[in-house]
Chain A
Amino acid sequence: MASKRKKSASATLNTFRAGPNEQGFFGMFGGRFVAETLMPLILDLERAYDEAKADPTFHKELAELNTHYSGRPSPLYFAERLTEHLGGAKIYFKRDELNHTGSHKINNCLGQIQLARRMGKTRIIAETGAGQHGVAVATVCARFGLPCEIFMGAVDVERQKPNVFRMKLLGAKVNAVTSGARTLKDAMNEALRDWVTNVHNTYYIIGTAAGPHPYPAMVRDFQCVIGNEVREQMMEREGRLPDTLVACIGGGSNAIGLFHPFLDDKGVAIYGVEAAGHGLDVPNGHSASINGGRPGVLHGNRTYLLQDSDGQILEGHSISAGLDYPGIGPEHSWLKDSGRVTYVAATDKEALDAFQMCTHIEGIIPALEPAHALAHVKKLAPTLPKDNLLVMNLCGRGDKDIFAVADHLGMKM
């Protein structure tokens, strides 16, 4: 009996990389839960993306942009002093904070803007939390001469002023969203409302691997450049694959981009780090959808959500505006339930400590988002042998966060 069960489990999961199915589901997660006005458009988008995927020109143009505009491949950096300091695993940083615009968000935006142009769309909209995605969208829109409007929660506009200014400099119109909790989920609601109203000419560049199908798979595909590079770079550096991967998770786009190319390498241990905010035991005090939420339907997909017993979405909290989202990409929900990826969480305080540690020891100011991943590395690395190759995705730089960090540390700037 036991052996029979084991056999059927391995038969269904001989690969973790086949999803989603034709309806956009990863197991029970994902799908296309949108209003009728958007359905024809979502189906168009899926067709356009399928065509683009099969077109070598599309890939060639994207590779050109990645190399010469964004500056890829990003380095795989051996964090020697941090490795010594923690005294365990050999720690590498994937330096996606060195990309043009300062985060991994550009990987996805370059892909989607190419798609928008192929579809003949003339206006771009996007939501943003920390502003990294908004800046990346404003950047590609400037590069390709398309008007763009960014929806950003009024609370985030306040705590991410440098990025708001960068978006404006790049020519974007920034709409401060004052509905709901005035953060990322509300920005996404407002972007969806704009899209429903302007479907005829507007393309919505969703910034994370969430939303209705085909977004989760498409954003993942564009972000997989991260993991694909790590595979090659690690083979070159160490002659073998890494043993451990760590990435922070808000919606989860940088994480899925690092993880996905390794999902079928059984020897690779994979950790996603959610934002535990004030602590997982503090009601509505964190943004850990997997560790502190349950499945539901929001923003076009079924996934783990922070919600109350009535199904009302909770606001959540994180020191990091980029992780302050009550959901998570549906593929992560599936990887959680299938057991392939381990999802942990780091608090605001742990992230702040890791932020300072990285700054002091490695001379790199990380964004508060990857500081959460780093906080887990701090706990995990000392428990691993010295020959364990650990890669952490340093997915964004921290310039945008210095004001917020100063505030938390009680410093005046």
Chain B
Amino acid sequence: MSKTTRIDRRFAALKKEDRAALVTFVTAGDPDYATAEKILLGLPGAGADIIELGMPFSDPMADGPAIQASSVRALKAGQNMHKTLDLVRTFRKRDKETPIILMGYYNPIYVYPRERFLDDAMAAGVDGLIIVDVPPEADDELCLPAVERGLNFIRLATPTTDAKRLPAVLANTSGFLYYVSITGITGAAAPDVKAVHSQVARIKKSTRLPIAVGFGVRTPEQAKAIAAGADGVVVGSALVNAIRESLGSKGEATGKTVAKVLDLVKSLAQALRTA
């Protein structure tokens, strides 16, 4: 029904290469705007196939300590929704192909207000949205207006999404489906690879959408193992932890910050290319 998007084209291209997508998550403005911009611009070259950019929120209820801390750092450095769209605009001027997905919570969008946010996001070069706290029951709040404008709305399916519920989750999802590998928050326990693969296989019977798997994937080895049974692997907490570990004593970015994140992305990308 809708036109193909950058996300569709990227997955189609990767299918030809016969490898899974590396989806990287970093928080916009973490640890500060300028450093975040450098990280963002460096991600495609380091091997990120799709970029998730977190919109920092004061109350990230679905996130573990690593991404909570990254939100706090970004907000403390003055990040807001307008600056997050600025980052996307800058990125899009340099890179016309790599998809960018904004990920976060509903309230900052709701008060932006939402219609204008969707217009601004589309104009800035955003390709999709993942909004954790807007379930399919509330599709007309945000999902349908987003899809109408040509944005992909990517839903999370979880181990608690049973066969009865799956059709509702898939109904207006586009771009890809994000399978949450555990019942829990981001950056928690490592997923059981076998269980994940069988869940992905189960969901595949109901959809032709690519399926990316995330939550708890940290290392190149884990990414490689997950990728063997999925169309994409999402890594987030490990990257924002790399940012944290690189900071100076006052929490400021150092000369190592950008390289540390991009090196981890490179090793993850390498692992997926040799899968």
Residues of A near any B CB (own CB < 8 A): 23, 31-41, 179-180, 185-186, 189, 192-193, 196-200, 294-300, 302, 305, 307, 309-313
Give the contact stretch, choosing among B18-26, B91-99, B103-111, B206-214. B103-111
Report if B271 contacts A (CB, 8 A): no
Interface size class of B (residues with CB under 8 A): 35 or more
A179/B161 in contact, CB under 8 A: no
Q: How far is the CA of A127 from the CA of B270 in the complex (A)?
A: 44
Contact of A197 with B111 at beta-carbon distance under 8 Å, contacts A39-B137, A312-B57 already known: no
Residues of B near any A CB (own CB < 8 A): 57-62, 64-65, 68, 75, 80-81, 105-112, 132-135, 137-138, 155-162, 165, 169, 180, 183-185, 188
Q: How far is the CA of A200 from the CA of B184 in the complex (A)?
A: 11
Q: How far is the CA of A33 from the CA of B109 in the complex (A)?
A: 13
Contacts of B68 in A (CB 8 A): 179
Chain B residue nearest in CB terms to A190:
B61
B61/A193 in contact, CB under 8 A: yes
Chain B residue nearest in CB terms to A181:
B58
A32/B138 in contact, CB under 8 A: yes
B110/A34 in contact, CB under 8 A: no
Contacts of B59 in A (CB 8 A): 180, 185-186, 189, 298-299, 313
Contacts of A41 in B (CB 8 A): 160
Contacts of B60 in A (CB 8 A): 189
A296/B183 in contact, CB under 8 A: no
A196/B135 in contact, CB under 8 A: no
A33/B183 in contact, CB under 8 A: no
A180/B58 in contact, CB under 8 A: yes
B107/A36 in contact, CB under 8 A: no
B113 smallest CB distance to A (angstroms): 10
Q: How far is the CA of A178 from the CA of B80 in the complex (A)?
A: 23
A197 smallest CB distance to B (angstroms): 4
A239 smallest CB distance to B (angstroms): 47
Q: How far is the CA of A309 from the CA of B159 in the complex (A)?
A: 36
Contact of A299 with B61 at beta-carbon distance under 8 Å, contacts A311-B81, A312-B75 already known: yes
Q: How far is the CA of A299 from the CA of B132 in the complex (A)?
A: 12
Contact of A33 with B133 at beta-carbon distance under 8 Å, contacts A305-B107, A307-B111, A311-B81 already known: yes
Contacts of A300 in B (CB 8 A): 133
A294/B111 in contact, CB under 8 A: yes
Name the residue among B112, B135, B162 with the largest chain A CB count within 10 angstroms. B135
Contacts of A200 in B (CB 8 A): 183
B107/A297 in contact, CB under 8 A: yes
B106 is contacted by which of A193, A199, A297, A313 (Cβ under 8 Å)?
A: A297
A197 is contacted by which of B57, B155, B184 (Cβ under 8 Å)?
A: B184
Contacts of A313 in B (CB 8 A): 58-59, 107
Contact of A36 with B157 at beta-carbon distance under 8 Å, contacts A296-B107, A310-B108 already known: yes
B165/A40 in contact, CB under 8 A: yes
B69 smallest CB distance to A (angstroms): 9
Chain B residue nearest in CB terms to A311:
B108
B135/A37 in contact, CB under 8 A: no
Other CB < 8 Å A-B pairs besides A39-B135, A295-B110, 7 of them? A32-B137, A36-B158, A36-B160, A41-B160, A180-B59, A297-B105, A312-B57
17 contacts between A and B (CB under 8 A): A35-B133, A37-B156, A37-B158, A37-B160, A39-B160, A189-B59, A189-B61, A197-B183, A199-B183, A297-B107, A297-B110, A298-B107, A310-B81, A310-B111, A311-B110, A311-B111, A312-B108
B185/A197 in contact, CB under 8 A: yes
Contacts of A39 in B (CB 8 A): 135, 137, 160, 165
Contact of A36 with B80 at beta-carbon distance under 8 Å, contacts A193-B185, A297-B106, A307-B111 already known: no
Pick the 6 closest A-B CB pairs, nearest first: A311-B108, A311-B111, A197-B184, A310-B80, A312-B58, A37-B158
A296/B110 in contact, CB under 8 A: yes
Q: How far is the CA of A110 from the CA of B161 in the complex (A)?
A: 30
Q: How far is the CA of A193 from the CA of B240 in the complex (A)?
A: 19
A197/B160 in contact, CB under 8 A: no
Name the residue among A34, A294, A297, A310 with the largest chain B CB count within 10 angstroms. A310
A311/B133 in contact, CB under 8 A: no
B156/A36 in contact, CB under 8 A: yes
Contacts of B107 in A (CB 8 A): 296-298, 305, 307, 311, 313
A329 smallest CB distance to B (angstroms): 17
Contacts of A38 in B (CB 8 A): 160
Contacts of B161 in A (CB 8 A): 36, 40
Contacts of A179 in B (CB 8 A): 65, 68
B137/A297 in contact, CB under 8 A: no
Chain A residue nearest in CB terms to B169:
A36
A37/B133 in contact, CB under 8 A: no
B16 smallest CB distance to A (angstroms): 31
Contacts of B137 in A (CB 8 A): 23, 32, 39
B135/A36 in contact, CB under 8 A: yes
Chain A residue nearest in CB terms to B137:
A32
Q: How far is the CA of A185 from the CA of B111 in the complex (A)?
A: 19
Contacts of B165 in A (CB 8 A): 39-40
B158 smallest CB distance to A (angstroms): 4
Q: How far is the CA of A199 from the CA of B183 in the complex (A)?
A: 7
Contacts of A298 in B (CB 8 A): 59, 107
Q: How far is the CA of A40 from the CA of B159 in the complex (A)?
A: 10
B184/A196 in contact, CB under 8 A: yes
Contact of A311 with B112 at beta-carbon distance under 8 Å, contacts A32-B138, A36-B155 already known: yes
Q: How far is the CA of A193 from the CA of B63 in the complex (A)?
A: 8
B156/A35 in contact, CB under 8 A: yes
Q: How far is the CA of A180 from the CA of B57 in the complex (A)?
A: 11
Q: How far is the CA of A253 from the CA of B181 in the complex (A)?
A: 36
A192/B61 in contact, CB under 8 A: yes
Q: How far is the CA of A39 from the CA of B132 in the complex (A)?
A: 11
